[in-house]
Amino acid sequence: MNRIEMVNPESASGESKEILAQIQKTFGATPNMFKTIASSPAALKMMWAGFGALGGGKIGAKLGEQIAVAVANANRCEYCLAAHTALGKGAGLSAETMSQAQVGKSDDARTQAALTFAIKLVKERAHVSESDVESLRGAGFGDEEIAELLAHVALNIFTNYTNVAFDVPVDFQKVALR
């Protein structure tokens, strides 16, 4: 059961109402995570703006969704694991690719480097080494993409913490944590 009250998009007001309407239009529904964080217009605005900014980034939706499931699994967030597995499939990734990404694995060397870095950022609380960053460069990532990888992890930590801390009910097809 949610630990804070979800905002009903129809009875929302002000900036929260406007942002929830954008979310509804984008997804065709308003996911529970957004309804939960909408009690704070500032937090909702930050979350939605983060998705918008990174959606237009250089690393692309497929890698972004693979990072999201790896971070969700590392943080034990069932909500984000379910949501981003669905979004990854919607972006054209196979169920097997998403399952591998969940545990930080990929057959693609570049993706593997990104997933390894993302999981290390989570587990080591950002205490990565010069060699960790150089591994990304060796896999073909430039500084812009490396910064975006960090931004994806940070946004996903925010959403993971929202869903875990507030016990947000999963409104996507559930996926088992591994």
At 6-21, the pLDDT tens digits run 999 999 999 999 999 9
pLDDT at 162: 98
d(CA 23, CA 62): 20
* Radius of gyration for the alpha carbons in the chain, expressed in angstroms and rounded: 16
What is the distance, to the nearest Å, from the Cα of residue 97 to the centroid of all Cα atoms in its chain? 16
Does the pLDDT value for residue 136 go beyond 90?
yes
Domains in the chain: boundaries: 14-55, 60-165
d(CA 139, CA 6): 42
CB neighbours of residue 41 within 10 Å: 18
pLDDT at 61: 97
Over range 140-151, report the average pLDDT. 98
Cα distances (Å, whole numbers) of residue 62 to 5, 41, 48, 88, 93:
32, 29, 19, 6, 7
pLDDT tens track for 111-126: 999 999 999 999 999 9
Cα distances (Å, whole numbers) of residue 47 to 83, 159, 178:
15, 8, 26
**What does 50-69 look like in DSSP terms, one character per residue?**
HHHHHHTSSSHHHHHHHHHH
- Of residues 90, 79, 87, 84, the one with CA closest to residue 36: 79
Does the pLDDT value for residue 1 go beyond 80?
no
pLDDT at 114: 98
CATH homologous superfamily of 60-165 equals: AhpD-like (1.20.1290.10)
Over range 90-112, report the average pLDDT. 98
Does the pLDDT value for residue 143 go beyond 80?
yes
d(CA 113, CA 125): 18
pLDDT tens track for 23-67: 999 999 999 999 999 999 999 999 999 999 999 999 999 999 999
